[in-house]
Amino acid sequence: VPGNTLAGFANKTELRCPGMQMSYTSVEDAELFARRIRTTSLRMIHRAKSSHAGSALSMAELLAVLYGKILRVDPARPDWPERDRFILSKGHACAALYAVLAQRGFFPMEWLETFYQNGGALPGHVTHSGIPGVEVSTGALGHGLGIACGMALAGKRDGRAYRVVALLSDGECDEGSTWEAALFAPHHRLDNLIAIVDYNKIQSLGTVREVLDLEPLAAKWEAFGWTVREIEGHDCKQIESALEILPLVQGKPTCIVAHTIKGKGVSFMENKLLWHYRTPNQEEMAQALAELGEAQ
């Protein structure tokens, strides 16, 4: 299985999506980018024998559109003051973000081989330390949106045009700190702030509905003062049209509730709690890559 060897990563041209250094030109490109994110993440997770495959797969299209089209970032200047800030608040799904950043050229593809490895560059929850393109380290849930509020506030106070995007899990909407930030942003009219909830409906020990029901989720954000749009989180066209012109409403922060499927793209992982934890074995990897249309 290619994912189990260094060779699986070494073929950089195969992993790097055509046109992805800049922005994509067609929806097909975005879908291709999302597929690359999936296969690369799965290879990393398989090689590392790590967890959270389902969480990485559910946000592949969101990341593809953000990093392919929406975010104004420059891999050559990760500290560019005017850059848009992206915060992955669901830090456990970091394999997908590392894959995207490497594909966008923030750091060498080879680094992906060191995910989870002793002495490697990339730990199992997203970290900023020494990794260009990562704004903020997360891993404990409920931290990202508050930091995003601070960055958005700084942008307002400094008169800068950058936007701040925080990608949250549904599970971390259990955290009180998420709602502290949710209360703060509209009060301070942070319309340069965008929260995206990857609403894949499964959290650590069960479905969101079973563990701590969030419904009506969109109405909650609305009641807190956000402009909310619900989208199909695997439909690149819908994601792009939701994020194309921001803010959705002047003077208000934007919340995108993205309905997604945990483990999306691999039939036996879809909607299965097990894939919050389980590492794919060789056979499962082969099947997953085949389903994702990648030659072995």
Partner 1 sequence: MRSAFFRALSALAERDERVQLIVGDLGFGVVESFAARFPDRFLNAGVAEQNMTAIAAGLALSGKIVFTYSIANFPILRCLEQVRNDVCYHKANVKIVAVGGGLSYGSLGMTHHATEDLAILRALPEMVVVAPGDPREVEAATHALAEHNGPCYLRLGRVGEPDIHREGFTFHLGKAIEVRLGEDLTLISTGGLLETAIKAAEMLSLRGLHTRVLSMHTVKPLDSAAVLSAARDTGAVFTLEEHSITGGLGGAVAEVLAESGEARVLFRRFGLPPSFSATVGDQEYLRMKYGLSADSIADSIESAMERSHMLYRKAGN
In the range 5-34, which residues lie near partner 1 by CB under 8 A? none
Binding flag, residue 183, partner 1 (CB under 8 A): yes
Binding test (CB under 8 A) with partner 1, winner from 19, 78, 132, 139? 139
Between CA 213 and CA 217 the distance in angstroms is 9
For residue 124, what are the CA distances in angstroms to 137, 263, 276?
11, 18, 13
In the range 149-168, which residues lie near partner 1 by CB under 8 A? 149-155, 157-158
Helix boundaries (H) for the chain? 7-10, 12-15, 27-48, 53-57, 60-65, 94-103, 144-157, 176-187, 208-212, 217-224, 236-243, 282-291
Q: With contacts defined by CB under 8 A, how many residues of the chain interact with partner 1?
A: 29
Least Cβ distance, residue 187 to partner 1 (angstroms): 8
**Part in contact with partner 1 (CB under 8 A); list of ranges 114-122, 175-183, 224-232, 255-263:** 175-183
Q: Which helix (H) or strand (E) holds 193?
A: strand 193-199
Least Cβ distance, residue 151 to partner 1 (angstroms): 4
Binding flag, residue 121, partner 1 (CB under 8 A): no
Between CA 165 and CA 206 the distance in angstroms is 27
Between CA 224 and CA 242 the distance in angstroms is 20
Binding flag, residue 180, partner 1 (CB under 8 A): yes
Binding test (CB under 8 A) with partner 1, winner from 99, 136, 167, 194? 136
Given the rule CB under 8 A, which residues bind partner 1?
A: 128-129, 135-140, 142-143, 145-155, 157-158, 176-177, 180-181, 183-184
